[in-house]
Structure formats: C-alpha cells, structure tokens
Structure 1
Amino acid sequence: MNTPLTPQQSARNAQLIIAARLVSDFGAFLNMVALATYVYLLSNSAIAVGVFLASRVAGGVFASLIGTAFYRRFGGRIPLIGFDLLRAGLLGLLLLLPVTEQALMLPVIAFGLGLGNSMFAIGLNSQLPHMIQGEQLLKTNAWLTSASSGAMVAGSLVSGLLVAGFGFEVVFALNVVTYLLAALFIVPLRFYRPAPSLDAKASSGEWAALRQGLRSTPVIAAMLALSMADTLGSAAHNVGFPIISKLLTPESASTTLGLMLAVWACGKFIGARIASRLPGTENVNLERRFFFGVLLMSSGFILMFNQHNLYGLLLFALPAGLGDGFSEVGLMSRLQREPDSLRLPIFSFLTLLQMTGFGVGMLIAAPFYNVWAPGIVVLLFHGIPLSTLVVLKVLASRAQRRQALSADQR
C-alpha cells in the first residue's frame, strides 16, 4: 500500500510481527540445540560439529553480503514468508532423507538455516519503519527483544526435554511447524511503501553510500564498532556457559545452565521494558541507552563468571541480561531512524559484523579456556567492548573540544 498506515493498522502489524518473531526465534533456538547434538551423535566427531557451526555462520555472512541488494529489489512481506518456508523445508529434509544420506546434507542445511535466519532478521529490522508508525517503534522493538529472549530460553530448554522424551524427529517436526506458523503471522502484514528517494539510486553503489553515510553520522559508526567489539565478548561467554556450569555444579551442570539462561532472559526482558518506558525518545537518548546497556552487560558478565557459587552466578546474570535488553532496544530503535537509503545497508553491515565477530570470537576464545579460568577469559574478551567504550568516549570528548575551540575562534 502506498498510503501511510493508520494507527489501527500499525498496532495490528506490531502484534503480528511480535508473534512471528517469538515463534521464529523459538524455532531457531530449538534447532540450534537439537541439531548440534544430532550432528555429534550422527558423526561422533567434534570436527563435524565445528563444520556444521561454521556452515551456519557462513550462511549468515553470505546473507549480510547480499541482503542490501536483495531487499532493494524484493521488499515487502513475500521475502519474509519465503525465508520462513526455506527454513521449514530444510528441516523437513531431515524427516524425509534416510539417516545414511543426512551426514552430507547437514552442512548444506546449516548454511541454509544461517542464510534464512539472517535474511529474515535483515528484512524485518530494516523494513520495520514501513510497518510501524514512528511513535510505536521504540515500544515494538522492546517487545521484539523481550520475545526473542523468552524464545531463546524456551527453545533451549524444550529442545532438550523433547529430544530426551520423544527423539530428534519430533523436535524437527515441531521446528517445521514453528516456521510455518511464523510465515502465517507475516501474511496479513500491511506495508507502507514511500516513493523511492534519489539517494537510493546513487550510482556510487550501496557500500560506497554506506561509507559516506557513516562519515556523516559518526555516532552510528561508533555504535557499529561497539557492536562488533561486543560480539567478541558474547562469543566468549557463550563458549563459557557450559564450562562455568560444570565447574560450579558438576553433578547438575545442565540444570545450572538452564537456570542461568532463564535469569539472564528475565533480565533482558525487564531491561527491554524499562528501555521503552524511560523518558526521552530523541536520537541522543537511544544512543545513551545503547552505550549504557553495553557497559552494564559486559560488567555483568565479568562479575558473573568470577563467582564461586551458584547464587552469585545467578545474581549477576540479571544485570547482564538487563544490559543486553537496554543495548538491543537502543541500537535497533536508533538505526531504524536512519533514512531508507542508509538503513538497509546498515542492517546488512551490522549482520556481517555480528556473524563474523561471533564466529571468529568463538574460535579465538575456545583455546583460552584450556589455559585460563573462565573468569579471566571473560574478563579479557568483555574487556574489549569496555575498552572500546573508553576509546569512543575519549574521541567524542576531543571532537567536542575541537568544535568548541573552532567556535571560540570564529
């Protein structure tokens, strides 16, 4: 539709998008846990698990490279539905193919899932301002973050229970249903399609336009740089979750891991709700929420991994989740305020940074756990975003002093 959305259409779109994100992310975390275990049982090889995970990351990286060009040409709800159907079809192969043929197909399935997950995220985040009225964006982003955190814990916990009780086939079948259901929630969405701007047709190319846009808005460049640094820290604590759980409670590591994720997700849910209700919705307010969120999250994880009992671990999982909720809501809401010509390349580039940082971070962080205690490893890797914050603050202060000096000289 070419006319602006009414408040009723915007509110209905928000409800449908939140529902789609909830079931889609539930499916993503459901298969993330189940497939990694399935690959290991099928191959009895840690190398095969590594290849599978690398293929999934490679699919996300590929999506970030083609996402801008793809959504410039194919916008609206049809691509989002298509990527849900792609993920459902790939998992359906595991229900149809004989077990003897699945080993060769698993890296292909992993690549397709990584591609589908990232393309869905790029398309949804970059097009959200065309589906939701501006004054509802912050609230919608907060609910999307809350839905994602709840889906993560539910998918992770339910996956293990279903595998233990019913086998992998039931998990894969349920996973297919979740993606089909997500596609059904996307079908009724209504998009507002504004007239294309001249900037969107710039002959210099998308990436050149992105570089030019980041130079003109250095705060966005700073937020992307911090997101990359934060991804390295996130990779380290994700590798360390099962390690610290087994170290503190060797007799019930899986229970501890589930509790830890549940408390973290509760913190993220609360952080997202608080971030959406704080006074001030200007760009500078969103930027401050993002920077504060990263500070709180990294500090929380450092304190969390340096505890020596379960209660201390769970206590600091809450502020780590709070910071995650703050930072995600602030980042998404701020980036979505950029013009159409810049917003899509930014989200594609953000996905590239996150997928690359997470993949590289996991490869780099894992060997450190063989040498150092988990607390030291997390301190090292979450020290990267904290150090980046300090550097950005120093650079911002110098820029302000130069501007003040120039103004005095004039």
Structure 2
Amino acid sequence: MTDAHQDGAMINRSARNSWLIISAHFISDFGAFLNMVALSTYVYLLSQSVTQVSIFLACRVTGGILASLFGVPYFRRFTGRLPLVILDILRAALLALLLIFPSSVQLYLLPFIALGIGIGNSMFAIGLNSQLPSWVDDSRRVATNAWLTSASATGAVTGSMVSGILLATNGYDLVFVTNIVTYLLAGLCILPLRFLIIPAGAEIKNQRKEWRDLFKGLRAAPLMAGMLLITMADTLGSAAHNVGFPVISELLTSASPGKTMGLLLAVWAGGKFAGARSSNYFLLKRGIPAERLFFYGVALMSLGFILTFQQNTVSLALFFIFFAGIGDGLADVSLISRIQSEVESLRLPVFSLMTLLQMTGFGVGMLIVAPFYIWLAPSLVIIIFHGIPLLTLIFVWLYSRRGHASR
C-alpha cells in the first residue's frame, strides 16, 4: 500500500513538473522573441545605423556560444531549479537597465545587454533540457519534449506579434516592462520543481577532460554524433531561409511583404506544432527509433523549404512551408529525446555541444548567406544551403548502414 502511494505521488509530481517546465519554456521563448524584435528595432531607432544592429545581433549570438562553453561547469557545480531561477532574474535585471538609464547611455549598454541575454537564453535551455529526466519520468519524457517544441513555436510567433502590437500602440517602455515580467514569471514556474530522484553528484572535471570524455562518448554512439553533424549543417539552411523570408515575401506580394512574411511564419509555426505533437505518436505508439525519425524530419524540413522558395503564389508557398514546419517539429523532439536518453554524465555536455554548433553555424551562416542573395535567385540560394543538410544526412545514413553491415 505504501509503495502504491509512493508511486502515485511520484506520477503526480512528474505530471506537475512536466506542465511547470512547459509553461516556463513557453514564457521564456515568448520573452526571448519579444525582446529580439523590440531590441533590434530599438538599437536602430537610437543609432540609425545598420552596423549597430549587426553588432547587437552578433553579441547575442556570441552570448549563446559562450553559454555552450560555460554551461557544463555551471550546471555541474549548481544543479536543480535555483540556477535556472537565477538566470531568469539576471535576464530581467539586464532589461531593467533600459528603464533606469537615459537613452544617451543605453546605446553603449545594449551590446552588453545583448551578450547577457544571449548567455541567459542559451544556458536556460541547456539547464532545462539536460535536467529534464530528473524532473519527469521516462514514460512522460517524449510527450513533454513534444509539448516543449510546440510551446517554443507558439512562443516565437506570439512573442513577435505581441512585440509589434505593443510597439505600435504603447512604445518601448511597456515592451521592456512586459519582457521583465515574462522572465520573472518563467522563474516562478521553475521554483516549485522538485526532483523525482535526487541525482548523484556529478564529478567536477576540467574543460579539457570534459570535452575528451564527450568525444569518447560520441564515438561510442555514432548515430547521435551524426545527428549533431546534421544539426550543424542544418544551421546553414536555417540562416538561408531566415535571411530569405523578406526577399521571397517581396517577390510574392510586393504590395504587402510584411503581411506575407507574417503568414509564412505563422503557418510554419503551425506546422512545427503539428510535427511536435505527432512525434509523440511516432516515437511511442509506432516505436520508430528517435534517430530515424530525426532523419525523416530533417529531410522533410529541408525539402519543404526548398519547395517553398520555388513558388510564385502565396497559397502554394504556405502549403509547402507547413510541411517544412512539420519536419522541424519532428526533428527537434527526436533530437532532444535521443540526447536525454543518454547517461547524465554525457547528457549535459552533448546539450552544450549542440548549442555551440547551432549558435556558431547560424552566426557564420548569416554572414555567408547574405551575398548569395545578391548574386543568385532566392530559389537557387535555398537549394544550395538546404542541400547541405540533405547531403550530410545521406552521408550519415550511408556511413551508418556501412557500419551496421560490417558489424
């Protein structure tokens, strides 16, 4: 009777933790996109310089790269909910500086604020994803990841939309106040989390040993290493379609490109939501291995974006970008669920490595892609840059088949 009572309490705690984490993730991503739109336009308003906007965005990406390097020692030393709450308070405090200091000083503060928010956003994601198996039981983990990806897509769209509405009606101060509140709310959602089983204390290693053990672990799991390689290649495709959205929107409807871009992003987010929800069915009910579903998802996503940029009408572009979103959702949930199935000692470094690859690849990709839109048609640019993850996927698949045959 006592065991049954304990099992019931564990299940209830897991379910409560799951929804608290999903809520915190949604609010955090909502806040991240709220300030990405608001701060980018605010920098331009203060400076009237595209160069300053580029510096601001570069600092934000640099923050993500630094987080991937500092995340492992930070979460090795400090585990549980408190480090995540501290990151939320830090992000709120950085934005509060814009309400305290006059605009003449703010332009010099904004690159440091961007760096700090970039660090906070990425470290929050690393800490939440790597510790999720300690808060949510195995039977609920895939479903939680599916909801997290769905919440992320929803938070991205709603955060961007709300930011635009608030800027148009009330100005920047209200956006900054709203953003501060979102980060504090995310921290309040994290605060009630309780471990199901208190994890054993992790060995504190130096960075060199940490990375050496990581690569040793990846050699023992070549398919997961291949998934990370494809993820890095996919950042080039992501940079290409993010830079290309305004271009294709202008080509499709020169009279209202902003409206078309909003539609494209909204339908993509709807597809990502659908893909994330369906991944729960494919992984658990159909028993498809996470690695295979990840390959399917990446292929569908890249082909979806390639076909989107070949269209001359909005309706067909929306049709194909919906499937790109489905592939994105499938790939995200499969990758995160696969990493979380690893032992705790490997899980945190892999999430940090994934963040490093994504941030570095996306930052480099944004620099590389832009000139291609001057030299070539958008339809061709997307074929080139989304062709890279497709070719990488084929290489990893053939390599895994060869290894399987040899064994």
TM-score range, shorter chain: over 0.9
The C-alpha deviation readout for 1:130-165, integer Å capped at 9, x for no partner, is 000011000000000000000111011111111111
- Residue type of the partner of 2:392? T
C-alpha distance in structure 2 between counterparts of 1:130 and 1:284, whole Å: 24
Structure 2 residue 61 is matched with structure 1 residue 57: yes
Q: After the TM superposition, which residues 31-180 of structure 1 pair with which residues of structure 2 at under 5 Å, given as runs?
A: 31-180=35-184
2:302 aligns to what?
298
The correspondence for 2:200, drawn from 183, 195, 204, is 195
C-alpha distance in structure 2 between counterparts of 1:397 and 1:289, whole Å: 16
1:342 aligns to what?
346
Give unpaired runs (5+ residues) of structure 1: 404-410
Question: Aligned in 2, Cα 1:33/1:195: closer, same or farther, shift over 3 Å?
Answer: same
Structure 2 residue 217 is matched with structure 1 residue 213: yes
The correspondence for 2:27, drawn from 19, 23, 30, is 23
Checking the alignment, whether the CA contact within 8 Å between 1:88 and 1:175 is kept in structure 2 is: yes
Query: Aligned to 1:306, what secondary structure does the other structure show?
Result: coil
C-alpha distance in structure 1 between counterparts of 2:156 and 2:379, whole Å: 24
Structure 2 residue 333 is matched with structure 1 residue 329: yes
- Residue type of the partner of 1:365? V
The correspondence for 2:12, drawn from 5, 8, 12, is 8
The C-alpha deviation readout for 1:158-192, integer Å capped at 9, x for no partner, is 11111111111111111011001111111101023
Q: After the TM superposition, which residues 240-251 of structure 1 pair with which residues of structure 2 at under 5 Å, given as runs?
A: 240-251=244-255
TM-fit CA distance, 1:285: 1.2
The correspondence for 2:240, drawn from 232, 236, 245, is 236
C-alpha distance in structure 1 between counterparts of 2:192 and 2:237, whole Å: 38
Q: What RMSD in Å do the two structures reach over aligned CA positions? A: 1.6
Structure 2 residue 371 is matched with structure 1 residue 358: no
Query: Aligned to 1:369, what secondary structure does the other structure show?
Result: helix
Question: Aligned in 2, Cα 1:121/1:368: closer, same or farther, shift over 3 Å?
Answer: same
1:408 aligns to what?
none
Structure 2 residue 397 is matched with structure 1 residue 393: yes
Give unpaired runs (5+ residues) of structure 2: 1-5
Query: Aligned to 1:6, what secondary structure does the other structure show?
Result: helix
The correspondence for 1:184, drawn from 167, 182, 188, is 188
The C-alpha deviation readout for 1:270-311, integer Å capped at 9, x for no partner, is 111111012547996111111110000000000001111111
Checking the alignment, whether the CA contact within 8 Å between 2:76 and 2:204 is kept in structure 1 is: no
Structure 2 residue 386 is matched with structure 1 residue 382: yes
C-alpha distance in structure 1 between counterparts of 2:254 and 2:173, whole Å: 30
Deviating more after overlay: 343-352 vs 202-211: 202-211
C-alpha distance in structure 1 between counterparts of 2:288 and 2:340, whole Å: 14
Question: Aligned in 2, Cα 1:275/1:244: closer, same or farther, shift over 3 Å?
Answer: same
C-alpha distance in structure 2 between counterparts of 1:167 and 1:293, whole Å: 40
Checking the alignment, whether the CA contact within 8 Å between 1:17 and 1:185 is kept in structure 2 is: yes
- Residue type of the partner of 2:199? P
Structure 2 residue 335 is matched with structure 1 residue 367: no
Checking the alignment, whether the CA contact within 8 Å between 2:129 and 2:340 is kept in structure 1 is: yes
TM-fit CA distance, 1:209: 0.5
- Residue type of the partner of 1:355? M
1:318 aligns to what?
322
TM-fit CA distance, 1:400: 2.2
TM-fit CA distance, 1:201: 5.8
Checking the alignment, whether the CA contact within 8 Å between 1:265 and 1:321 is kept in structure 2 is: yes
- Residue type of the partner of 1:352? L
Checking the alignment, whether the CA contact within 8 Å between 1:202 and 1:209 is kept in structure 2 is: no
C-alpha distance in structure 2 between counterparts of 1:363 and 1:277, whole Å: 38
Checking the alignment, whether the CA contact within 8 Å between 1:294 and 1:323 is kept in structure 2 is: yes
- Residue type of the partner of 2:20? L
C-alpha distance in structure 1 between counterparts of 2:32 and 2:285, whole Å: 31
Structure 2 residue 272 is matched with structure 1 residue 268: yes
| TM-score after normalising by structure 2 | 0.95
C-alpha distance in structure 1 between counterparts of 2:161 and 2:318, whole Å: 17
Checking the alignment, whether the CA contact within 8 Å between 2:17 and 2:135 is kept in structure 1 is: yes
- Residue type of the partner of 2:265? L
TM-fit CA distance, 1:196: 3.7
Question: Aligned in 2, Cα 1:211/1:381: closer, same or farther, shift over 3 Å?
Answer: same
Deviating more after overlay: 274-283 vs 163-172: 274-283
Q: After the TM superposition, which residues 281-296 of structure 1 pair with which residues of structure 2 at under 5 Å, given as runs?
A: 285-296=289-300
- Residue type of the partner of 1:174? T
- Residue type of the partner of 1:86? L
Query: Aligned to 1:269, what secondary structure does the other structure show?
Result: helix
The C-alpha deviation readout for 1:241-270, integer Å capped at 9, x for no partner, is 111112211211111111111100110011
Checking the alignment, whether the CA contact within 8 Å between 2:34 and 2:179 is kept in structure 1 is: yes
